[in-house]
Amino acid sequence: MNQITPPPKIEIIPSNAPFSEAQRSWLNGFFAGLLSDATPLSAEQGAAVMQGAAGDDDDGEAPWHDQTMPMAERMKLAEGRPLRRRMMAAMAQQDCGQCGYDCHNYSEAIASKSEARLNLCVPGGKETARMLKSLYEEIDKAPSTPSAAAAAAPAASAAVAEPGRSRDNPVAATFLSRRLLNKQGSEKETWHIEFDLSAAGLDYVVGDSFGIFARNDVGLVDQIIALLGASHTTEVNGKTLREVLMDDVSLSPAPDSLFELISYLTGGARREKARALAQGEDPDGDAATLDVMAVLQKFSGVRPHPEAFVEALEPLQPRLYSISSSHNATPGRLSLTVDCVRYVINKRKRLGLASTFLAERINPGDELKVYVQKAHGFALPQDPKTPIIMIGPGTGVAPFRAFLHDRRATGAPGKNWLFFGHQRSDCDFFYADELNAMKTSGLLTRLSLAWSRDGDKKFYVQDRMREVGRELWTWLAEGAHVYICGDAKRMAKDVERALVDIVAQFGARSTDEAVSFVGELKKSGRFQQDVY
């Protein structure tokens, strides 16, 4: 992390005053907050906070540790770094675990050629896959790194060793039930989903994620087979074409390799268009809406051989969800909080595959392939007496519901403060009865709510944080851990900025010193994020 040299702290309460260090820090912040206004963060200060999450390594800082930063900017920051570091910049070094590695080991595995799949970064999608492909071409030119294979291979092999602990070795779990969390009048569609893990023999800890392999819709599969002019019983890789298209390959979005295949099977202007799309260009302004079926319709009459067609598609990726239950509270059962976002593909309104599968196409008693992804740092404090501050609007509440259930089941005495927000209080207050009961019982020490559409002016969780900034600083001074879960593009950044301003205002610090303070919280594990 870049070293920021702060000016001296504002000391209003003398060191020999009859107060503890935490009390003196709070009082300093109280009086300083009365005398000063919060200062907005500069771009450099924001980057300094983000670097605190990545930490230091053998190559220095990772200033590209921001998935909302444009690819070109991330790669610019990584210029001159070793190849594996530039690969991590292409991934934004999120360490979400969806690829089956953390970003460091995934880049090491690619660089050592022990991992040939360049499309495993689910959040990065096609853009990251294209950049990794470009970087992969440099491997033979780069100096050899004998330790790379040794570093990456154990992580991969260990992950596969135990059933249900890796995307490469899933197990079967039974779908139990779903219930809609939104009430009438909501603009959202969010479901509480439950699974039975007893037959799978899986357990988990709070903070872990749950990987689900969805199946493609048979109706969509049959339409694609018809466009190919093939039979659904055609054998491909030892299975029928229908089985392969349902279970093994992704049908959205269309991969570059499919455009490459089509360019070999046609000519003239259509060949040039397919080549342009394969290079990431957008000749007709519709590239973002092209799934596999839409491509076959766009290049109607081009009918690849089924085997070549399947080889041109990407493998079906699992979807990771934050677990919203506690194994200590409900052993053998697991819950998710699933937001179903509808979007338009080729003029057809669809849900994302996993959301469709869970919300519409799976029935109680059905089995599906799943695995548990161990948490990358998003876990409760080791000391159960440590207070925690949880900030999770929308489906970001999922892991914090798990935290609260776990703390109740284990009798953890630490204080718990939840910030939750959504659009409307009357139809978007997820788990309202549960959370209010936890507050009444004293398990949930504080519950701070923010509703963005209830008033004339939008009001978010970061606005509520600023309102109670003095109390929030008191919790920080007492050693509280802070957790954020939810949207990475705006919410997480706005919450971090609010936190920095609160530290500056009530912690008797300059803005630069507050930036350093929040960065240190991240490096010490007291500030953890699960954002997407």
- Tens of pLDDT along 124-146? 888 888 899 889 988 877 655 54
Q: Is the pLDDT of residue 47 over 70?
A: no
Q: Is the pTM of this model over 0.85?
A: no
Paired with 421 in beta bridges are 450
Q: Is 35 buried (19+), middle (13-18) or exposed (0-12) by CB count in 10 A?
A: exposed
The mean per-residue pLDDT over the stretch 445-453 comes to 97
Spatial distance between the Cα atoms of 175 and 404, rounded to a whole number of angstroms: 24
Give 292-323 pLDDT, tens digit per residue. Answer: 999 999 999 999 999 999 999 999 989 899 99
pLDDT number for residue 377: 73
pLDDT number for residue 15: 61
Spatial distance between the Cα atoms of 216 and 339, rounded to a whole number of angstroms: 19
Q: Is the pLDDT of residue 26 over 80?
A: no
pLDDT number for residue 151: 43
Q: With bands split at pLDDT 50, 70 and 90, how would you rate the model's confidence at 20?
A: low
Higher-confidence residue: 374 or 463?
A: 463
Dihedral angle, C-alpha 394, 397, 398, 403, nearest 10 °: 180
Nearest to 473 by CA among 20, 21, 26: 26
pLDDT number for residue 342: 60
pLDDT number for residue 532: 81
Spatial distance between the Cα atoms of 304 and 106, rounded to a whole number of angstroms: 32
Long-range contacts of 219-224 (CB under 8 A, 24+ apart): 220/251, 220/293, 221/245, 221/246, 221/251, 223/293, 224/251, 224/292, 224/293, 224/296
pLDDT number for residue 56: 42
Pure H helices in 137-181: 146-161
pLDDT number for residue 124: 82
Q: Work out the percent of the chain whose per-residue pLDDT is above 90.
A: 62
